[in-house]
Amino acid sequence: MMRVFKWCVRGLIAVFALLTLVACALHVTQSDDAEGVAPPDGDALRIASYNVHYIWLDRETGPWSVGDWDRRKEPLNKAFRALQADVVAFQEMESFQRGDDGSVNLARDYLIGQNPGYGVAATGDWRTFPTTQPIFYLKDRLQPVDQGWFFFSDTPDVIYSRTFNGSYPAFASWAQFEDRGTGQRFRVVNVHFEYSSRSNRLLSAALVRDRLRPWVEAGETVFLVGDLNALHGAQTMRILEETGVVFDRTPGATYHLNRGIHVLGAIDHLSRTPDVRLQTGPEVLQRRFDGEWPSDHHPVYADYLLP
């Protein structure tokens, strides 16, 4: 009987500890409609990554439906503005129709309509350029000079080709920019690895490594950012580091279950070639806007000094 009593006590302690952890996680996330973050200092370049979750065009109500988008579109706009970023690489900026049809993109079009100071790179006609991972840039400072994509597949240059195990298409988009003031150039590579298959993530990371290596070895300045669906230090990240890029640790959760629950480490990350100096960050914008979470991910951002 005493042994059963001890087990019960231990069980209650474990439950209490879990509830305390969740309460603490919720406590740090309840700031609502807070002011924007401080702008970049001096000549620093602010780069951000943000998974904004796709929209179901054939659903009028429910999670991630068109009705849900109407409710959260302005909170997303406020989160975007709060970043005050020079570059924002988006993932899952997609409005699902049939098949690969990307002719409608509600989130992209709304943000650009509300923020005319930004342009969109890593985009194009959906039949020749996948549009779900655009890279927004501040037009007064930056000029895009090149862009491209490749899929995490045995046929990476075939658009919408399925991943290595036949799962849904996943890919990297990239854009090269020139600073209008200094003439400096840099490339931003934007990735989103699959969450459910570790083997897919590792094969995707190896493909990205092989695609980045010639750019890095040629002396280019490269930022590799996005949703790795992997924690800091995971094998996925270690494979990418073989190119020479440096991942600066993201200090808080970026995925929050769409409820502001922060119990996991970051799965969205920023990296840079060693010629770039980190000035501040990375930081995670863990805030609600207009009482809403704009997405089930938080954006992560950092300020850099170009070489």
Q: What sign does the CA torsion over 264, 267, 268, 273 have?
A: positive
Task: Say if 17 falls within a structural domain.
Answer: no
Measured CA to CA, the distance from residue 280 to residue 72 in angstroms comes to 29
Task: Say if 118 falls within a structural domain.
Answer: yes
pLDDT at position 97: 81
Helix, strand or coil for residue 204? Answer: helix
Q: What is the mean pLDDT of the chain?
A: 90
Amino acid at 171: F
Task: Print burial letters for 268-300: b (CB count within 10 Å at least 16), e (below 16).
Answer: bbbbbbeebeebebbbbbbbbbeebbbbbbbbb
Task: Say if 146 falls within a structural domain.
Answer: yes
pLDDT at position 100: 72
Dump the DSSP string for 255-267. Answer: B-TTTT---S---
Measured CA to CA, the distance from residue 144 to residue 180 in angstroms comes to 10
Inter-CA distances, 157 with 40, 77, 144, Å: 36, 33, 22
Is the CB of residue 288 less than 8 Å from the CB of residue 32?
yes
Query: Among all chains, which residue has been given the structure tokens 């996680």?
Result: 25
Burial class (CB in 10 A: 0-12, 13-18, 19+), 160: middle
Residue 35 binned pLDDT confidence (cut-offs 50, 70, 90): low
13 pLDDT exceeds 90? Answer: no
Mean pLDDT over 7-19 rounds to 35
Domain enclosing residue 224, as ranges: 31-305
Task: Say if 47 falls within a structural domain.
Answer: yes
Measured CA to CA, the distance from residue 20 to residue 178 in angstroms comes to 49
Task: Say if 21 falls within a structural domain.
Answer: no
Number of domains in the chain: 1
pLDDT at position 271: 98
Task: Say if 5 falls within a structural domain.
Answer: no
Task: Say if 2 falls within a structural domain.
Answer: no
155 pLDDT exceeds 90? Answer: yes
Burial class (CB in 10 A: 0-12, 13-18, 19+), 104: middle
Is the CB of residue 192 less than 8 Å from the CB of residue 91?
yes
pTM, full prediction: 0.89
Task: Say if 22 falls within a structural domain.
Answer: no
CATH number at residue 79: 3.60.10.10
pLDDT digits (tens, 9 = 90+) for 166-201: 999 999 999 999 999 999 999 999 999 999 999 999
